[in-house]
């Protein structure tokens, strides 16, 4: 029983796991080397008194439509004082799913997991390995000289490309709709060609991938784009 003022100390756990399915819980435990705190669905109320500030990775399983709003509220709470944690949304139900609201709340990866157990574990492993948690990369945006820099190399970018990256850096949870990106490029715009904007961002993503072997700008289906968290210094 939890008493008023009681606080769950999660500081000794770098990973918090909200998965419900036993197999998925086991997969996460095997794939991460850190100490995992598992919070079962029946114990979800303890999140109101849980300290998430030190969590490096957080996993949510979405196995029904009813869990969506609850998970979004927990993600928002995490982001109040932890901007670096890597948050994974793992969808295991068979109905159609959109990750837009999770990304807007602050999630980093939304995966619709396949039913095959081996494919499920493979997808989760690949996503973990490429995440900012497991594969940290540090870049710096030089707005004056129009450069995207690492410690060892520099990538020349256009003013438009710099503006797009800068807008994503400044955006809440680093996600913007296509409309908002277009308005950032031209505040007086009324109509724009979505295909032209997509081509501009596609070229930028290709340049970054070629130089840094990194997916820095990620598409959010039916919405816009998000920036890889914790990668570019403000």
- Helix (H/G/I), strand (E/B), else coil: 86: strand
d(CA 9, CA 35): 13
pLDDT at 1 over 70: no
Residue 154, strand partner residues: 149
Q: Show Cβ contacts of residue 10 under 8 Å, excluding neighbours closer than 6 positions.
A: 16, 37, 50, 51, 52, 54, 55
Fold for 139-233, please state it: Arc Repressor Mutant, subunit A (1.10.10)
Rounded CA-CA distance 217/210 in Å is: 13
Query: CB under 8 Å to 191, separation ≥6 — which residues?
Result: none
Strand pairing of 86-91 and 57-62? parallel
3-state DSSP call for residue 124?
A: helix
Looking at the chain, the domain(s) classified CATH 1.10.10.10 span 139-233
Start-end ranges of CATH 3.40.50.2300 in the chain?
15-130
State mean pLDDT over 11-21.
86
Look at residues 58, 21, 57, 16 and name the one whose alpha carbon lies nearest to residue 38: 16
Query: CA-to-CA distance for 129 and 124, rounded, in angstroms?
Result: 9
How far, CA to CA in Å, does 14 sit from each of 20, 107, 129, 131, 162?
Answer: 19, 17, 16, 15, 34
36-38, strands of its sheet edge to edge: 36-38, 15-18, 57-62, 86-91, 109-112
Q: How confident is the model at residue 2 (pLDDT cuts 50, 70, 90)?
A: very low
**Whether pTM exceeds 0.85:** yes
What CATH number belongs to 15-130?
3.40.50.2300
Amino acid 94: pLDDT: 85
Which tens digits make up the pLDDT trace of 126-173?
A: 999 999 999 999 999 999 999 999 999 999 999 999 999 999 999 999
Ranking 61-75, 143-157, 170-184, 210-224 by mean pLDDT, the lowest is 61-75
Residue 134 DSSP code: T
Q: What is the pLDDT of residue 210?
A: 97
Q: How many CB atoms lie within 10 A of CB 182?
A: 19
Are the C-beta atoms of residues 66 and 44 closer than 8 Å to each other?
no
């Amino acid at each position: 029983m939890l008493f008023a003022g009681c606080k769950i100390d999660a500081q000794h756990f770098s990973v918090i796991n909200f998965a419900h399915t036993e197999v998925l819980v086991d997969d996460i435990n095997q794939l991460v080397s850190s100490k995992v705190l598992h919070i079962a669905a029946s114990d979800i109320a303890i999140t109101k008194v849980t300290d998430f500030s030190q969590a490096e990775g957080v996993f949510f399983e979405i196995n029904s439509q009813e869990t969506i709003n609850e998970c979004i509220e927990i993600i928002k709470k995490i982001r109040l004082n932890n901007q670096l944690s890597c948050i994974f949304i793992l969808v295991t139900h068979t109905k159609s799913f959109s990750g837009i609201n999770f990304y807007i709340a602050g999630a980093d990866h939304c995966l619709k997991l396949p039913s095959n157990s081996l494919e499920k574990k493979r997808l989760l492993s690949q996503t973990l390995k490429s995440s900012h948690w497991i594969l940290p990369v540090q870049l710096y945006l030089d707005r004056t000289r129009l450069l995207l820099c690492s410690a060892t190399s520099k990538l020349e970018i256009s003013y438009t490309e710099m503006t797009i990256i800068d807008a994503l850096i400044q955006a809440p949870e680093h996600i913007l709709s296509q409309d908002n990106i277009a308005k950032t490029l031209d505040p007086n715009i009324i109509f724009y060609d979505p295909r032209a904007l997509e081509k501009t961002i596609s070229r930028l993503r290709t340049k970054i991938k070629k130089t840094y072997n990194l997916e820095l700008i990620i598409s959010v289906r039916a919405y816009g784009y998000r920036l890889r968290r914790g990668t570019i210094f403000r």
